[in-house]
Amino acid sequence: MNTTTPQLPDTVHTFDQLLSSTRRGARLARLLTVERLQAWHVPAAQAERVEQVVAELASNAALHGRVQGRDFRIGLALDRTTGILRAALTDARGDRLPWPRPNPDDESGRGLVLVAALADRWGTIPYPPSGKTVWAEFDLRRPTR
């Protein structure tokens, strides 16, 4: 008997990669994001927002979320049905949560202001036993700002 299996349309695309908690790993996270967004045919204006947020979150994971000998993970998920793209970066430092409101006198800490401005939603969730995931979502159906 010869039967064909029905094929469902590709509505959800995912990408997941473990990277070293270094500046090189953070740079690679950004480059891999650009490649994935191009492959998924995400419009350039939307892709640029995602790329900038991933670059910031990956830099934070490598700098502030670093634990010697532990990597960080980048995950991307695009749901074409809802038009939502989610970027999630997981690091090993659950004790260091992002602070979205920097002190004006501090020399660093302004990157999350950029994340809040570019992403439609963002937040953190614990990643047991000792890590955290910082995620950002983008509504690709919404006009760019």
The full DSSP string for 55-91 is HHHHHHHHHTS--TT--EEEEEEEETTTTEEEEEEEE
Q: Write down the pTM of the prediction.
A: 0.85
- In degrees and rounded to multiples of 5, residue 61 shows phi and psi of -65, -40
Provide the CB-side half-sphere exposure for 16 (13 A, CA).
2
Task: Indicate whether 50 pLDDT > 60.
Answer: yes
The order of strands in the sheet holding 12-19 is 12-19, 72-79, 84-91, 131-139, 121-127
What whole-number distance in Å separates Cα of residue 50 and Cα of residue 32?
Answer: 12
Start-to-end Cα distance in the chain? 55
Provide the pLDDT confidence category of residue 81 given band limits of 50, 70 and 90: very high
Which run of H or of E encompasses 139?
Answer: strand 131-139
**5 has pLDDT over 90:** no
What pLDDT score was predicted for residue 23?
A: 93
